[in-house]
């Protein structure tokens, strides 16, 4: 693991909360015992300890159950993955390279 990117299993709730708090440095984080929510501008991502992830950005929304989250702090993305799906949440203002 490098200091800028980390893949975390949904079962490691403390690591999920820590990485989301770090990712959401320019926004607002709200954490409860089984839910963590980040709002940056018009974009939000909500992660539940049972694996449900809901994301909302201008022009689209996502709601699904995942197994891992990859936090890329330099690239400004969170990739939510399971065997069936991959969803990438982008921090507003980040460009795709």
Instruction: Specify whether the backbone of 75 is left (phi greater than 0), alpha (psi in -120 to 50) or beta.
Output: alpha
* In a domain? residue 95: no
Contact 19, 8 (CB under 8 A): yes
Strand partners, 42: none
Range of the domain at 69: 5-90
Residue 34 lies in a domain: yes
User: DSSP assignment, residue 95?
Assistant: P
**Residue 97: pLDDT band with limits 50, 70, 90:** very low
Query: Residue 96 domain-assigned?
Result: no
62 lies in a domain?
Answer: yes
Q: Is 19 part of any domain?
A: yes
Considering the entire predicted model, what is its pTM?
Answer: 0.88
Count of helices and strands (H, E) across the chain: 1, 9
Q: Is residue 69 part of a domain?
A: yes
| Residue 94 DSSP class | P
What band does 1 get if pLDDT is binned at 50, 70 and 90? low
Tell whether 10 is covered by a domain: yes
* Mean pLDDT, the chain, integer: 91
The structural domain count of the chain equals 1
Q: pLDDT tens digit string along 80-94?
A: 999 999 999 999 875
**Residue 16, in any domain of the structure:** yes
């Amino acid at each position: 693991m490098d200091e800028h990117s980390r893949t975390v299993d949904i079962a490691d709730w403390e690591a999920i909360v820590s990485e989301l708090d770090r990712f959401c440095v320019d926004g607002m984080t709200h954490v409860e015992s089984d839910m963590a929510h980040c709002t940056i501008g018009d974009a939000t991502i909500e992660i539940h300890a049972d694996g449900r992830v809901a994301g909302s950005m201008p022009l689209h929304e996502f709601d699904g159950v995942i197994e891992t989250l990859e936090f890329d702090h330099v690239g400004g993305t969170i990739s939510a993955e399971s065997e069936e799906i991959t969803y990438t949440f982008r921090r507003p203002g980040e460009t795709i390279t």
